[in-house]
Chains A and B, each alone.
Chain A
């Protein structure tokens, strides 16, 4: 059974402006306390589209089980960072800039589990947001 990760942005906010505080928390369940070797959480952007991809890491944190007396990384962990001035989220045809919070759980067995929570910086209409409100976009077809 795969572990469960509850990853949330506090206040369930998904759109931020440069300078806003981004508060995030996550908790791991359905896994034994000694089974996690380390956890990495990052706040990052990446490009996706037709050309070469790029990415940048704005905030990074690594927690290693051996650094904790009880070696238990499952408990609720909070972190926060300030949203930068750039790059802003962007949804173009050729290139898109996406922001996300990424949590990577490295198990002692060697397996890696990865979770992502997308969010937006700037008031750029996100394609994902449009899909949630527009029924025609949720049944996309290539014609």
Chain B
């Protein structure tokens, strides 16, 4: 718990520090709660995929999910979070506390250190929750090795991907303008004063991609 100074009106609320995964909690669709998503995960045999295009908030969802599901998996070693960097490398990810301008303390999900496939496989044990962010970035051969390894374990598995995987889809992220509005409304007070028509124009121009919208709002705030 911390106290912090209010954000200065002149501080750009769309700076990286405020939009990095974890800095803003992910807002699930209205009809779904975090325990319900966990129930869905359990019903699917504790394995599933979060589907969605670039910039829709898959990693942000993971950052929130890890914190919300700690209740179900409280042991610190219960989690292996891994981000696929490119074809043949991946790194672990961890929640980290960072201080934002104004002294606000944020918990963000960030890449930590690179990890070999062998080490990753060695960590996949019963009772573990393994998260792979950006699963589709691995080449087919690596994905095949991964499937073979995961089949031999009882570890829970959550993947994020742009494309469908052999696992059941837990959630397909297709944000609508109303979701973006909800996100903005939950943001810092300075942001809530942005006119709806402006938000809608930004949304349309960026073809409904929340990340691109936030980048554009950064520049508009600066101008």
Q: Which of A51, A116, A140 contacts B16 (CB 8 A)?
A: A51
Q: Which of B3, B16, B98, B195 contacts A49 (CB 8 A)?
A: B16
Q: Which of A2, A114, A138 contacts B99 (CB 8 A)?
A: A114
> With contacts A98-B101, A142-B198 known, is A112 near B16, CB below 8 A?
no
Distance between A142 CB and nearest chain B CB, rounded to angstroms? 5
A103–B10 CA distance with the chains assembled, in angstroms: 22
Q: Which of B1, B15, B17 contacts A111 (CB 8 A)?
A: B1
Q: Is B36 an interface residue (CB 8 A)?
A: no
In the complex, chain A residues 105-143 whose Cβ is within 8 Å of any chain B Cβ: 111-116, 127-128, 130-131, 137-138, 140-143
- Give the segment of B40-48, B63-71, B80-88, B212-220 that binds chain A: B212-220
**Looking at chain B, what size class is its interface with the partner chain?**
20 to 34
A51–B17 CA distance with the chains assembled, in angstroms: 9
In the complex, chain A residues 46-62 whose Cβ is within 8 Å of any chain B Cβ: 46, 48-53
Q: Is B194 an interface residue (CB 8 A)?
A: yes
A142 lies within 8 A of B194 (CB): yes
Residue from B5, B15, B194, B215 whose CB has the most chain A CB atoms within 10 Å: B15
A140 lies within 8 A of B195 (CB): no
A2 lies within 8 A of B3 (CB): yes
B9 lies within 8 A of A138 (CB): yes
A49 lies within 8 A of B220 (CB): no
A48 lies within 8 A of B17 (CB): yes
**Looking at chain A, what size class is its interface with the partner chain?**
20 to 34
Q: Is B113 an interface residue (CB 8 A)?
A: no
Distance between B1 CB and nearest chain A CB, rounded to angstroms? 5
B2 lies within 8 A of A113 (CB): yes
> What is the interface of chain B mostly: helix, strand, loop, or mixed?
loop
B221 lies within 8 A of A115 (CB): no
Q: Which of A49, A115, A142 contacts B15 (CB 8 A)?
A: A49
Q: Is A75 an interface residue (CB 8 A)?
A: no
A113 lies within 8 A of B198 (CB): no
A45-81 interface code vs B (CB 8 A; 1 in, 0 out): 0101111110000000000000000000000000000
Distance between B56 CB and nearest chain A CB, rounded to angstroms? 19
A142–B220 CA distance with the chains assembled, in angstroms: 6
A142 lies within 8 A of B9 (CB): no
A50 lies within 8 A of B103 (CB): no
Q: Which of B11, B16, B17, B193 contacts A141 (CB 8 A)?
A: B193
Residues of chain B whose beta carbon lies under 8 Å from any beta carbon of chain A: 1-5, 8-12, 15-17, 98-99, 101-103, 105, 190, 193-195, 198, 215, 217-222
